[in-house]
Chain A
Amino acid sequence: MSNYIPTIGVEVHVELKTKTKIFSNSINGYGEMANSLTNVIDLAYPGTLPTLNEEVINLGIKAATILNCKIRKVMHFDRKNYFYPDISKNYQITQNATPIGYDGYVEITKENGEKKKIYIEEMHIEEDTCKSAHRGTKTLLDFNRAGVPLIEIVTKPCISSGEETKLYLEKLRELLSYGDISDCKIEEGSMRADVNVSIRKNESDPLGTKAEIKNIGSISNAKLGVEKEIERQTKLYENGETFLPQTRRFDDKLNDTVLMRVKETGNDYRYFPEPDIPFVVLTDEMIENARKTIPMLPDERRKKYLELGVSEINTKKLIQNRSLSDYFNTLLEEKTNHQVASNLLLGDISAYLNKNEKDITETTLTKERMLELIELLENNTLTSKNLKEIINEILESTETIKEIMKKNGIENITDDTEIRNIIQKIIKENPESVNDYKNGHDRAIKFLMGQVMKETKGKANPKMAMDILTEELK
């Protein structure tokens, strides 16, 4: 089989994280009783008019910024006219002529470390349609989703493989969820990707016939879908066959794409500017204000964490957990041991949170208490063994960590001279063991250490005790 060059373009729809819908004040929610989140506007009752949710415009500006897009300062909405039961007005309000963002890019890092920019043609704001469910001969309509704000992000045909498609979608998901634009849950439909695939023999050839793959349920399926489609098209060409532009869907059971329909020519949506919504003019101030609310994005977090001495593995794990990473960010400016902080968050604290199904913001661990905790661990006043005993209390009470330790009888002796006195006494009382140690029996030091702990009722700071003991035995 000879090699073809694949050309791939991706269209992604993400639902925006707003309180209300884009053109009405119905709640933007998921998983509620069918048609409970609707009003006369969503159902296109006669005489109703759209309003415009400003939150959507702000998120649009933020998304455009994150995707390195240029922002259109004077824009309007358009009507896309078509008859279908999923759109109550029988037209969708979208942005056809003046998408809010254009000419952007997202940078992916391939497995070999090579970076590639995936260019974004445009991104526009539009409304989601209603969900339809087919039951026998009947079709049921749930308008809860109708009017949920979406942005559609369209890449240039610049993606070359299933792997790149996957990396692009992962990066997009990371950026948009970190930017608080969307929760990007593919399984709930808040992120949906359609992929266009064509292949050609040489770079100089015109682009090949396009197949669009819809209904992709996961990012790994997007990769697989692209690969299967390249394979299918290659086989057809190799057998001297051609095919018509078509829409296919990814079938989870077959793990392959199947034909939905051959594309009809001349889809005529009769676009025209939406007369019910005046032109939207974005001022520099609006753009600046929206930009200011963009949280720190993953790339910047990664850079900062590594600079502060956090290990590669901890950095990666923190960024995978948005809420821990946000918590960690509150410590960035503090003079503390950030590696210890990350160990704490990813270790005992995570264990507690998982077990109790809590978010870190639901615990009592203020920044001040966290800093105290790190300090106590760092200077060995609190051992990691003792920490495990009191972690619940640390995260549930508001007392200082020292108070909690005291209440639990964890009071390590950290006074240098006091421990030295005790050690000197133990050495005097156990000349045999000292002898054994000096003759190379390492076990003897453990015995001596045991005696020290016994004498101090376990309150000696173990590291300090060991250091002094070793010193005194010289």
Chain B
Amino acid sequence: MKYLNKDIKEINKLLKSKKIKPIDLVEEAFENIEKNKDLNAYITLNKEEAIKQAKSLEDKEVDNLLFGLPIAVKDNIVTKDLRTTCASHILDNFIPIYNATVVEKIKAKNMIIIGKTNMDEFAMGSSSRTSYFGAPKNPWNPKKISGGSSGGSATTIAARDVLFALGSDTGGSIRQPASYTGIVGMKPTYGRISRFGLVAFASSLDQIGPMTKNVYENALLLNALVGKDEKDLTSVRREEEDFTRFIGKDIKGMKIAVPNYFMSDIVSSEIIDKVKEIIKLLEKKGATVDYVDVKYLENAVTLYQIIAMGEASSNLARFDGIRYGHSYENPKNIEDVYLKTRAEGFGEEVKRRIMVGSYLLSGENAKVYYNKALSIRDDMRKEFKNVFKKYDLMIGPTTTTTAYNLTDPMDDPRKSFMDDVLVIPVNMAGLPGLNLPIGFDKNNMPIGMQVIGDSFEEAKIYHLASFLEKELNLELNPFGGEEDE
């Protein structure tokens, strides 16, 4: 019997009535993962522990919709006693002695961690090909990338292995792979979710978020993840809210902005056309849609590179072979420990970013680049704020193209940043943004649309996204949605 493809409320009912047990779901998840193992979505599976946990839940009261459901966790989120590698050789033997706050939160809901998903090394990349463990493959076409950096989480959701996955998004790393694989991925407002236990890439941009096959489940998982955490000073205290509360509601009167830059010739015409269809649909359903100019959008990638690489060069300094992780054997002196451990432990892209980041912060450069970038980022934030004074939401394409081939060259780092040109501004402004699948290109690869809200307006984003999801009613299972027998 198959259960994981059923409606989540249906699964919950079955669990409550004891017709099924969490162990059934866990076993099914591992069967799915085994069947799809060529997609390379996971770095480490948590089989033994997951089965043990599932069994221990049998006597517990099924007290929430997420109870007993398997979840995949991106491998840059630390899990106690479960290897956490960041897809890097330097941490390939690292077994944390503590849990990330989000891990504590999903455990509190009695969700079951099924494994740690593949990603770009230290989340640096946009195709998951910088992983030390090889790239995950796109379930829609295994010759294509799943995107990145949360490529493994996107892959396992798209392949319907499990219902839930956690990703992290520094410059589009949830939304871009969600777009390439036809799933729903939310990067919440900066500060919404504790970063404690998320291995830092760029501290002022990193944010954990939910990745799911549909909007409702996404909002449901976000409910469980948010909240001020005393362990993360950048997390924000907000009144408790239910992110599903506007789902299923009408959108009449909603005011939506489309930045002109998002619809310019940097985006493929197939994607533009799809977004235009959506705009027509929205207008038909009573929303107003305006094209607007948003200043600084075209500078976002440059600002991102300065801020993200500068912070990364400092954040990754702790991987020195002294206290944990890979360490060069038989060093001659302390220099040797540092240089050889890091030379062996880090991949090319990580080294490149550390070097560029170090240069950007050197001497007077910090003032010229980093501090300047911070100040332009503030201006950009204000610019977004101004748009949201007049509009409820902003929409546009998530990516400039659909997923490309795994064999496409990786030698031009600027190109890989261009993959993220539409998602990066959202991180720069600290705003929430979601990818919603809106159709397919001529090769049947998913096209995604981004819905961006003002700070802490995730519920509004889910409102619009769920409305469109229902209207479009797309078949989003790459394997054709076989029903259970």
For the complex, what is the distance from the CA of A276 to the CA of B334, rounded to whole Å?
A: 28
Segment at the A interface, from B192-200, B388-396, B420-428: B192-200
Residue A85 interfacial (CB < 8 Å): yes
Q: A88: which of B76, B196, B313, B323 is its contact (CB, 8 Å)?
A: B323
Residue A47 interfacial (CB < 8 Å): yes
* CB <8 Å contact, A90 and B317: yes
* CB <8 Å contact, A49 and B233: yes
* CB <8 Å contact, B320 and A83: yes
Q: B78: which of A47, A89, A276 is its contact (CB, 8 Å)?
A: A47
With a CB–CB cut-off of 8 A, which chain B residues contact A266? 363
For the complex, what is the distance from the CA of A81 to the CA of B370, rounded to whole Å?
A: 15
Residue A376 interfacial (CB < 8 Å): no
For the complex, what is the distance from the CA of A358 to the CA of B98, rounded to whole Å?
A: 44
With known contacts A45-B324, A88-B323, A91-B317, A273–B198 Cβ distance under 8 A: no
Residue among B98, B231, B318 with max Cβ neighbours from chain A (10 Å) = B318
Residue A270 interfacial (CB < 8 Å): yes
Residue B223 interfacial (CB < 8 Å): no
Q: How large is the interface on B (under 10, 10 to 19, 20 to 34, 35 or more residues)?
A: 35 or more
Q: B100: which of A47, A141, A268, A271 is its contact (CB, 8 Å)?
A: A47
Main secondary structure of the interface of B (DSSP, over half): loop
* CB <8 Å contact, A47 and B361: no
For the complex, what is the distance from the CA of A49 to the CA of B193, rounded to whole Å?
A: 14
Segment at the A interface, from B58-66, B89-97, B446-454, B473-481: B89-97
Q: Closest Cβ of chain B: how far from A79's Cβ, in Å?
A: 5
Residue among B86, B203, B319 with max Cβ neighbours from chain A (10 Å) = B203
With a CB–CB cut-off of 8 A, which chain A residues contact B311? 272, 275
Q: B77: which of A47, A83, A270, A276 is its contact (CB, 8 Å)?
A: A47
Q: List B380-425 residues whose CB lies under 8 Å from chain A.
A: none
Q: How large is the interface on A (under 10, 10 to 19, 20 to 34, 35 or more residues)?
A: 20 to 34
* CB <8 Å contact, B94 and A79: no
With a CB–CB cut-off of 8 A, which chain A residues contact B318? 44, 46, 88-90
Give B307-337 as 1s and 0s: 1 = Cβ < 8 Å from A's Cβ atoms.
0001101100111101110000000001000
With known contacts A91-B314, A272-B314, A46–B323 Cβ distance under 8 A: no
Query: Which A-chain residue is minimally distant from B200 (CB atoms)?
Result: A47
With known contacts A47-B198, A81-B361, A272–B366 Cβ distance under 8 A: yes
For the complex, what is the distance from the CA of A69 to the CA of B91, rounded to whole Å?
A: 46
With known contacts A46-B94, A47-B200, A270-B358, A85–B322 Cβ distance under 8 A: yes
With a CB–CB cut-off of 8 A, which chain A residues contact B334? 85, 139
Give A70-98 as 1s and 0s: 1 = Cβ < 8 Å from B's Cβ atoms.
00000000010101010011110000000
* CB <8 Å contact, A277 and B233: yes
With a CB–CB cut-off of 8 A, which chain B residues contact A79? 314
Residue B234 interfacial (CB < 8 Å): yes
Residue B204 interfacial (CB < 8 Å): yes
Residue B441 interfacial (CB < 8 Å): no
Residue B362 interfacial (CB < 8 Å): yes
With a CB–CB cut-off of 8 A, which chain B residues contact A44? 318, 323
Give A36-49 as 1s and 0s: 1 = Cβ < 8 Å from B's Cβ atoms.
00001001111111
Query: Which A-chain residue is minimally distant from B235 (CB atoms)?
Result: A49
With a CB–CB cut-off of 8 A, which chain B residues contact A81? 313-314, 317, 361
With a CB–CB cut-off of 8 A, which chain A residues contact B371? 272-273
Residue A450 interfacial (CB < 8 Å): no
Residue A51 interfacial (CB < 8 Å): yes
For the complex, what is the distance from the CA of A79 to the CA of B357, rounded to whole Å?
A: 14
With a CB–CB cut-off of 8 A, which chain A residues contact B104? none
Q: Closest Cβ of chain A: how far from B416's Cβ, in Å?
A: 23
Residue B232 interfacial (CB < 8 Å): yes
Q: Closest Cβ of chain B: how far from A297's Cβ, in Å?
A: 33
For the complex, what is the distance from the CA of A268 to the CA of B97, rounded to whole Å?
A: 34
* CB <8 Å contact, B231 and A278: no
Q: Closest Cβ of chain B: how far from A151's Cβ, in Å?
A: 20
For the complex, what is the distance from the CA of A49 to the CA of B370, rounded to whole Å?
A: 21
Query: Which A-chain residue is minimally distant from B342 (CB atoms)?
Result: A83
Residue B156 interfacial (CB < 8 Å): no
Query: Which A-chain residue is minimally distant from B98 (CB atoms)?
Result: A40
With a CB–CB cut-off of 8 A, which chain A residues contact B96? 45-47
Q: Closest Cβ of chain B: how far from A45's Cβ, in Å?
A: 7
Q: A275: which of B204, B317, B320 is its contact (CB, 8 Å)?
A: B204
With known contacts A83-B320, A91-B314, A275-B204, A47–B197 Cβ distance under 8 A: yes
* CB <8 Å contact, B234 and A89: no
Q: Closest Cβ of chain B: how far from A155's Cβ, in Å?
A: 26
With a CB–CB cut-off of 8 A, which chain B residues contact A49? 195-196, 200, 231-234
Give B244-285 as 1s and 0s: 1 = Cβ < 8 Å from A's Cβ atoms.
000000000000000000000000000000000000000000
Residue B84 interfacial (CB < 8 Å): yes
For the complex, what is the distance from the CA of A275 to the CA of B232, rounded to whole Å?
A: 11
Query: Which B-chain residue is minimally distant from A40 (CB atoms)?
Result: B98
With a CB–CB cut-off of 8 A, which chain A residues contact B358? 270
With a CB–CB cut-off of 8 A, which chain A residues contact B202? 275
With a CB–CB cut-off of 8 A, which chain B residues contact A89? 317-318
Query: Which B-chain residue is minimally distant from A79 (CB atoms)?
Result: B314
Q: Closest Cβ of chain A: how far from B304's Cβ, in Å?
A: 14
Residue B374 interfacial (CB < 8 Å): yes
Residue among A49, A52, A90 with max Cβ neighbours from chain B (10 Å) = A49
For the complex, what is the distance from the CA of A49 to the CA of B230, rounded to whole Å?
A: 10
Residue B338 interfacial (CB < 8 Å): yes
With a CB–CB cut-off of 8 A, which chain A residues contact B363? 266, 268
Q: B203: which of A43, A141, A271, A275 is its contact (CB, 8 Å)?
A: A275
With a CB–CB cut-off of 8 A, which chain A residues contact B199? 46-47
With a CB–CB cut-off of 8 A, which chain A residues contact B204? 275
For the complex, what is the distance from the CA of A46 to the CA of B100, rounded to whole Å?
A: 10
Q: Closest Cβ of chain B: how far from A280's Cβ, in Å?
A: 10
* CB <8 Å contact, A47 and B91: no
Give A254-291 as 1s and 0s: 1 = Cβ < 8 Å from B's Cβ atoms.
00000000000010101111011110000000000000
* CB <8 Å contact, B366 and A271: yes
Q: Closest Cβ of chain B: how far from A125's Cβ, in Å?
A: 15
* CB <8 Å contact, A268 and B232: no
Q: Which 10 A-B pairs have the closest CB atoms?
A: A90-B317, A270-B361, A275-B204, A275-B203, A47-B197, A46-B199, A44-B318, A47-B78, A47-B199, A89-B318
A-B contact pairs, 25 of them (CB 8 A): A40-B97, A40-B98, A44-B318, A44-B323, A45-B97, A46-B78, A46-B94, A46-B319, A47-B78, A47-B100, A47-B198, A48-B196, A49-B195, A49-B196, A51-B233, A52-B233, A81-B317, A89-B317, A90-B318, A90-B320, A141-B322, A268-B363, A270-B361, A276-B234, A277-B233
Other A-B pairs beyond A40-B97, A89-B318, A271-B361, 9, CB < 8 Å: A44-B323, A45-B324, A46-B91, A47-B196, A50-B233, A83-B320, A91-B314, A268-B363, A270-B362
